[in-house]
Chain A
Amino acid sequence: MISKIIEKKLVSLQLVRGLSSSTARSARNNAFNTVITEEVATKSPQLVTLHNRLRLPGSFKLSTLGRCLTCIQKDNKYPNNVGLSIFGKNLLSYHATELLLMKYPRLPLNVLNNAINGIIGDETLYSIGKEWGIQTDSSTAVEKFLNEEPEEITIGRLRFDNQNKSIESNLTVIDKKNTLTQEVAMASAVKSIVGAYYASSKSLQDTKKFIYNYILTTRHLKIQDMFEFEQPTRELAALCKRQGLEQPVTRLLSESGRASKRPVFLVAVFSGNEKLGESFGASLREAKIRASVNALMNWYLYSSLDVKLPSDADYSRETLKEVDHGIVIV
């Protein structure tokens, strides 16, 4: 009896999309007949809380915030966040690239790319979104219907077709077709909030402030751990030649227990009288390689004292002092 009622209601709500013809389905997917209204959005406790928590401006409507949480979905009656997310990603990557490039002007390209991914990659944005308190909607359409979940509760959660669906306990279905992982979905929500921030505030400076306060400065990236060199001694010699410095010479500063099981050698690389790098090792070879690596890191991680970003109001081309010559080719 109960199952019959459910079936009837499901059909009436057009939730069983599989039964309709394919052309009708595609038409329904493209045309969003329902839009999240401001009236409904103001009733949503999650949206109001998130809005206040992120100190979003008044011009950022709650209905827009609801849209940011709507990912691309198969049976979706609301407009999704795809466009906003692409826009937000571009804003984020602009600010992250600018910050890293101006702070560390000599950063090699592959380290730069990985560092950007570390700051604004999907995994990072997922943890940021979780910290913001964005809840994910894990209930199915049937469960929502049976619980008589109101619309304002549904729109306050992150909605997406999950790649990993747990049907029962200890049973998960992985469906990679037209689905998103939780990380990607949450990241798209965070990106679209950034995009919507600019779209609603129409101020690049305010958006920049938001990005710095809530995303870029919230994580500590260990950029010194992202380097790996193949031939550090040769690379350093090539660098010194390019920069017009004297050929590097590795010199022994101190040592302990040369004949013992655990010797320690402290060496430094000198170019003339200038010390380029210093390190230690259990063998002279190890210490020499480590010292060269240290010297190369000293070169690549140079940072000027007064960093002015192109997006700053008082930026001019004249303030750009250091232009990098690029990586050293061995």
Chain B
Amino acid sequence: MFSQIIKSGIQSQKRSVSTESLPKLAVKNKFKSRGSAFNFKPQKVEPGVYHQPSPSIPSPLQKTPNAFLPASDIRKSSSSEYTAEDVSYMPPLSSVKEKKYHLTAQQIEEIRQLRNSDPYTYTRKALAKKFDCSEFFVSLVVDCPPDRLKDMAGRLDTIKSTWSVRKKEAKSDHEKRKQNWYRNA
């Protein structure tokens, strides 16, 4: 893409006026007036209104995506700004999994029972693997028993107590910065 831009840039710099009238240099040198990059002749721009959007991400106040426009809006277009080929060049961060909806009410009850009976063996990860569902689904079905929650919080506090002052500061700074992700700040 960049090579294309550079190429077209060179083409646009092609001389359109003869350099015959340029004064000849007295000293003999290697300067080629015909092919020199300094011999820049910009192409003529026709008068008119040109829209040059800033290269930054458009503000939500400036532009609403086509998919979010209501059908009554005149800005709504039937075709997308991007083709399927364009989108295929942009790798997805994670693959979209089809939802299976395969667990029965009995199995869900079993998940609850196992999690509450022995939360140290039947962790979210273990249950997700056993029942072939996501860890998020397990968290929807059953909450972590309060005893384990307290124990894990205690363990985390023990780990945190070993942190140096610099690490503590860095962690708290990161937490503050992380809040901005959700505010678009």
B121 to chain A, nearest CB (A): 29
For residue B185, CB closer than 8 A to chain A, the reply is: yes
For residue A230, CB closer than 8 A to chain B, the reply is: yes
Contact of B184 among A227, A253, A304 (CB under 8 A): A227
Contact indicator B61/A273 (Cβ below 8 Å): no
Contact indicator A245/B181 (Cβ below 8 Å): no
Q: Which residues in B have their C-beta under 8 angstroms from that of A305?
A: 73-75
Contact indicator A290/B184 (Cβ below 8 Å): yes
Contact indicator B73/A294 (Cβ below 8 Å): no
Q: Which residues in A have their C-beta under 8 angstroms from that of B178?
A: 286
Interface band, chain A: 35 or more
Contact residues, A244-265 vs B (CB, 8 A): 245, 247, 249-253
For residue B27, CB closer than 8 A to chain A, the reply is: no
A307 to chain B, nearest CB (A): 12
Contact of B65 among A250, A281, A288, A298 (CB under 8 A): A298
For residue B91, CB closer than 8 A to chain A, the reply is: yes
Contact residues, B140-159 vs A (CB, 8 A): none
For residue B24, CB closer than 8 A to chain A, the reply is: no
Contact residues, A96-120 vs B (CB, 8 A): none
Contact indicator B82/A275 (Cβ below 8 Å): yes
For residue B6, CB closer than 8 A to chain A, the reply is: no
Q: Is the interface of B mostly helix, strand, loop or mixed?
A: loop
For residue B100, CB closer than 8 A to chain A, the reply is: no
Smallest CB gap from B57: residue in A: A278
Contact residues, A128-153 vs B (CB, 8 A): none
Smallest CB gap from A274: residue in B: B67
Q: How many residues of B contact A (CB 8 A)?
A: 35
Q: Please, how many angstroms separate the alpha-carbon atoms of A229 and B183 in the complex?
A: 7
Contact residues, A220-255 vs B (CB, 8 A): 223-225, 227-230, 232, 243, 245, 247, 249-253
Q: Which residues in A have their C-beta under 8 angstroms from that of B37?
A: none
Task: With A251-B90, A298-B60 as known contacts, state yes or no: A276 contacts B181, CB within 8 Å.
Answer: no
Q: Please, how many angstroms separate the alpha-carbon atoms of A293 and B68 in the complex?
A: 14
Q: Please, how many angstroms separate the alpha-carbon atoms of A251 and B80 in the complex?
A: 16
For residue B104, CB closer than 8 A to chain A, the reply is: no
Contact indicator A286/B181 (Cβ below 8 Å): yes
- The 0/1 profile, CB within 8 Å of B marked 1, for residues 289-324 of chain A is 110011101111111110000000000000001100
For residue B72, CB closer than 8 A to chain A, the reply is: yes
Task: With A230-B182, A271-B67, A276-B68 as known contacts, state yes or no: A249 contacts B61, CB within 8 Å.
Answer: no
Q: Please, how many angstroms separate the alpha-carbon atoms of A295 and B58 in the complex?
A: 11
B170 to chain A, nearest CB (A): 13
Contact indicator A298/B68 (Cβ below 8 Å): yes
Q: Which residues in A have their C-beta under 8 angstroms from that of B84?
A: 273
Q: Please, how many angstroms separate the alpha-carbon atoms of A299 and B59 in the complex?
A: 12
For residue A155, CB closer than 8 A to chain B, the reply is: no
Contact indicator A321/B74 (Cβ below 8 Å): no
Contact indicator B73/A304 (Cβ below 8 Å): yes
B97 to chain A, nearest CB (A): 10
Q: Which residues in A have their C-beta under 8 angstroms from that of B90?
A: 251-253, 268, 270
Contact indicator A247/B96 (Cβ below 8 Å): yes
For residue B66, CB closer than 8 A to chain A, the reply is: yes
Q: Please, how many angstroms separate the alpha-carbon atoms of A228 and B84 in the complex?
A: 32
Contact of A276 among B65, B75, B182 (CB under 8 A): B65
Q: Please, how many angstroms separate the alpha-carbon atoms of A303 and B69 in the complex?
A: 9
For residue B87, CB closer than 8 A to chain A, the reply is: yes
For residue B43, CB closer than 8 A to chain A, the reply is: no
Contact of A249 among B60, B92, B182 (CB under 8 A): B92
Contact indicator A284/B93 (Cβ below 8 Å): yes
Smallest CB gap from A266: residue in B: B57
Contact indicator B68/A250 (Cβ below 8 Å): no
Contact indicator B184/A322 (Cβ below 8 Å): no
Contact residues, B38-63 vs A (CB, 8 A): 57, 59-61, 63
For residue B29, CB closer than 8 A to chain A, the reply is: no
| Interface residue ranges, B against A (CB under 8 Å) | 57, 59-61, 63-70, 72-75, 80-84, 86-87, 90-94, 96, 178, 181-185
Nearest 8 A-B pairs (CB), nearest first?
A251-B90, A274-B67, A297-B60, A321-B72, A273-B80, A301-B60, A250-B93, A289-B181
